[in-house]
Amino acid sequence: MAMRVTGTTRAAPGLRATGFRTVGLLALAAVLAACGNGEKTSQPPRPVLVARADTATGHGADGLSAYAGEIRAREEAALSFRVGGKLVRRLVDVGDRVQRGDPLAELDPGDLRLQVEALQAELTAAEAQLARARADHARTASLSKDQLVSRSTLDQQTAALRAAEGQARAARAQLDLSRNQAGYSQLRAPQNGVIASRQVEAGQVVAAGQSVFGLAVDGGREVAFALPESNIRDFKVGQAVVIELWSAQGEQIPGRIREIAPAADPQARTYAARATLEGDIAGRVDLGQSARVYVPAGLSGDALRLPLSALHRGDTGQTVVWTVDPKAGKARRVPVRIGPYAADGAAVLSGLKPTEWVVMAGGHLLHEGQAVLPVDRTNRPVSPN
């Protein structure tokens, strides 16, 4: 029996499914190509944390850290009464500007006035005793000249006269002192300045020497900051520093360390220090402003220092850092030669300029020429110089 062969054939089920999948993939690729128009999508600039090489992570030219400080007056006086009493009037408040001799506060003068009156009465009695002793001495001297009294009697009268004179002098001195104390019931400004603090209120009883006001004397301004005991020997009086105000980022004021406390604070284990601000700073700094103190590379011939997070290993094994030009906004890999590693970083011996902006973190995610948005530690964009 002859078999009839038809003109159509059926594909295997597996081959048919494969063909459908291939067609679907090709169609999806065509759609994506049509949507993209063959152009690569541009990525926005990546934000990166940067710092200048001479102040990176707060490290200066000789490896010293930058420390937070506060603008203070060169001369600060704690004002107090020289006598105790009840405060009846407070004439100034914090922030008031005062001139030398201006009254600041007053004590109740009643007790001091009574004390003056009592000592005045004692002086009057002492002077009466002195007058009597002089008259007795004069009579005894006259009788002694005629040999009507003994020599010992004259000596007794002479001693009594000397004692009366001493009592009168003592009473007069006590009265003068009491009068001075009555004048001390009014507290006056010793110099021109600004009232920086107030510790008492009207109606309060204060003791002699108790602080009433803090006066910031007009004149020089300084930065008060603290140094850790771990590297206190790296600092010295007269060392040049750079001061940067938090309110004026990028504006650097030259200064010098004026004093370092000889002993550390028993609780914080830090050494109190002061750095003077040099140059024309009138109107640029205010009391209480926050500041940072640096020892930048420009003031010393030592190597720059970078934190460990800014150092990376290149393809050839060489140490590299990522730098950013704020004008171009591009990341650039820079090979550097470093010195021995420390616990918090390493010294950069060559390959890097102090004024270059260095990526402090996230450099392992960058590639050469990548668009970046440099920001500082306050999350502010770095403006081109």
Domains in the chain, CATH or no CATH each = 46-56+303-375 (2.40.420.20), 67-74+219-294 (2.40.30.170), 82-107+186-216 (2.40.50.100), 110-183 (1.10.287)
Q: Who's near 29: CB < 8 A, 6+ residues apart?
A: none
Q: What is the pTM of this model?
A: 0.49
E strand or H helix that includes residue 77: strand 76-80
Note the pLDDT of residue 281: 67
Question: What DSSP assignment string belongs to 305-373?
Answer: EE-GGG-EE-TTS-EEEEEEETTTTEEEEEE-EEEEE-SS-EEEEES--TTSEEE-S-GGG--TT-BEE
Note the pLDDT of residue 3: 42
| Nearest residue to 193 via CA among 82, 335, 337, 92 | 92
Q: pLDDT under 70 in the chain at which residues? A: 1-42, 54-65, 250, 281-283, 295-303, 340, 342-344, 384-385
Each residue's pLDDT tens digit, 287-306: 888 888 886 443 444 567 78
Note the pLDDT of residue 261: 92
